[in-house]
């Protein structure tokens, strides 16, 4: 059974701090890893990482895929209160349409 | 710029009642999905569709049925609601397989009493 584990489960930081969120996976026939941000409602796409694209960056957010360690990290630098959200990691693997989500990391950024 | 729209946003059902959740997307996506999100469980795939007229089971399909009669719409039905189906339901669509970016609706909070 495919597994995606995120850590920590929750995190409270002050504005301006840098945070690192972790995602590890055990899947058969890995295809891609995706990060989503979920504020009050719908998850919104952040990054997709594959064997051919193991590092992505957008503004203060960046993500790296470590295929050897079967994991990924999401870094957020100079955090802002608007970064407060649940960050979801998802892995596509194996057969058609098989995507497994982690339970998420809840980030709270306080002023 | 609607994207993915779900209706209704909230619903309370009594055990045994039936209902249909509607998902509509205006991005001409082939792929559509229904997920449920429960505390501590993450998002779990209920059913999905790879095109008009096609549907398939996901990870937790029991107690649900779906239909995709039109490319832009994906319906999720509960024939006889149970308290275990209390959850937040998300519809999503994508241009290609889930390995690409998926667009999510705003969710439907369903409570079965």
| A4 closest CA partner among A73, A106, A104, A85 | A104
User: B96 pLDDT exceeds 90?
Assistant: no
> Residue A111: pLDDT band by 50, 70, 90 thresholds?
very high
> Residue A73: pLDDT band by 50, 70, 90 thresholds?
very high
| Per-residue pLDDT reduced to its tens digit, A8-41 | 999 999 999 999 999 999 998 898 999 999 998 8
A40 DSSP assignment: S
| Per-residue pLDDT reduced to its tens digit, B41-86 | 889 999 999 899 999 998 899 999 999 999 999 999 999 999 999 9
> Residue A95: pLDDT band by 50, 70, 90 thresholds?
low
User: What's the CA gap between B95 and B32, in Å, rounded?
Assistant: 9
Query: Average pLDDT, stretch A50-57?
Result: 85
User: What's the CA gap between B5 and A55, in Å, rounded?
Assistant: 32
The residue ranges of DSSP E strands in chain B, in sequence order, are 4-7, 10-13, 19-25, 31-38, 42-51, 54-57, 64-67, 73-78, 87-94, 102-104, 108-112
| Contact check, Cβ <8 Å, A97/B45 | yes
- 3-state SS assignment for residue B7: strand
Q: Quick one: pLDDT at residue A40?
A: 81
Side-chain-side CA neighbours of residue B4 (13 Å): 28
Instruction: Give how far B15 is from chain A: nearest CA, Å.
Output: 26
Q: Quick one: pLDDT at residue B27?
A: 94
B51 close to B32: Cβ distance less than 8 angstroms: no
Query: Average pLDDT, stretch A84-102?
Result: 86
| Contact check, Cβ <8 Å, B42/A103 | yes
Residue B39 CB coordination number (10 Å): 8
Question: Residue B63 CA to chain centroid, in angstroms?
Answer: 13
In Å, how far are A20, B2, B59 from B66, measured between CA atoms? Answer: 39, 22, 14
Q: What percent of chain B has pLDDT over 70?
A: 96
Return the residue of A nearest to B50 by Cα.
A97
Instruction: Give how far A92 is from chain B: nearest CA, Å.
Output: 6
Q: Quick one: pLDDT at residue A1?
A: 81
Q: For chain B, say whether A52 makes contact (Cβ under 8 Å).
A: no
| Contact check, Cβ <8 Å, B97/A97 | yes
């Amino acid at each position: 059974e495919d597994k995606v584990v995120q850590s920590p489960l929750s995190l409270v930081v002050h504005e301006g701090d840098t945070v690192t969120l972790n995602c590890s996976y055990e899947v058969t026939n890995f295809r891609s890893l995706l990060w989503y941000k979920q504020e009050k409602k719908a998850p919104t796409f952040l990054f997709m990482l594959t064997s051919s694209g193991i590092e992505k960056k957008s503004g203060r957010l960046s993500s790296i895929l470590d295929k050897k360690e079967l994991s990924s990290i999401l870094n957020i630098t100079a955090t802002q209160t608007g970064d407060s959200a649940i960050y979801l990691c998802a892995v596509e693997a194996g057969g058609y349409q098989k995507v497994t989500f982690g339970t998420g990391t809840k980030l709270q950024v306080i002023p | 710029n609607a994207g993915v729209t779900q209706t209704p946003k909230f619903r309370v059902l009594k055990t045994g009642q039936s209902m249909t959740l509607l998902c509509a997307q205006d991005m001409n996506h082939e792929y559509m999905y229904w997920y449920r999100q429960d505390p501590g469980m993450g998002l779990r795939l209920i059913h999905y569709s790879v095109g008009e007229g096609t549907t398939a089971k996901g990870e937790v399909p029991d107690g649900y049925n779906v239909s995709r009669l039109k490319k832009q719409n994906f319906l999720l039905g509960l024939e006889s609601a149970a308290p275990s189906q209390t959850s937040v339901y998300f519809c999503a669509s994508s241009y290609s397989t889930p390995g690409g970016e998926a667009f999510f609706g705003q969710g439907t909070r369903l409570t079965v009493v």
